[in-house]
Amino acid sequence: MKPFVFLDRDGTLIVEKNYLHDPGGVEVIEGAAEAIRRLHDGGFGVALITNQSAIGRGYFGLERLQMIHQRLEDLLAADGATLDAIYVCPHTPDDGCACRKPGIDMITTAAGDHEVDLKRSFIIGDKECDIDCGINAGLTTILVRTGYGSRLETEIGERADYVADNLLEAADWILNKP
């Protein structure tokens, strides 16, 4: 069993862009690749879990989403970082699925795929659904101030186990946690 760090995508790992549809628009947040490298070096798996309602809304298809994620993986690889897996909920909030955060199906699927030790795992995100997903799955939760996090900190920051300026600070906190 291995601990994992589950990352939100938009606003946490990459710059928030409303319904990002162009692979050329992917911008990794400064320090994010280094954070992933440090987490891997510290013995953690790292998986992306992302709500992508643009698919369910018909803004673009799964093929375009795969191109976006390939661009993300290429940018990370150029900085020596890799993700162990990417899990996507393509549904809209109205679909009532169990995979959309704050639901935990993406986490439970990852746990089965990678023999994840959920009790020693973390989630990092910039929105309430990320923190609630972590709480629902029994993970340690970290709110980052990137993306929407700085605007939501007064509302949801106290529900998170830790609040970090960015993914790199969150990774350092995880790695130095007793």
User: Is 105 assigned a catalytic role?
Assistant: no
Q: Report whether 47 contacts 12 (CB < 8 A).
A: no
Alpha helices (H) along 23-127 = 32-41, 53-56, 62-78, 105-114
Please tell me what DSSP assigns to residue 29. Answer: P
User: Is position 10 annotated as part of the catalytic site?
Assistant: yes
Q: Which of 10, 84, 130, 132 is catalytic?
A: 10
Q: Do 17 and 24 contact (CB within 8 A), yes or no?
A: no
- Tell me the two tokens of residue 44: 């953690």
Are the beta carbons of 124 and 166 closer than 8 angstroms?
no
Residue matched to tokens 């862009």: 17
Cα–Cα distance, 125 to 57 (Å, whole number): 23
Q: Which of 8, 84, 126, 132 is catalytic?
A: 8
Question: What residues act catalytically?
Answer: 8, 10
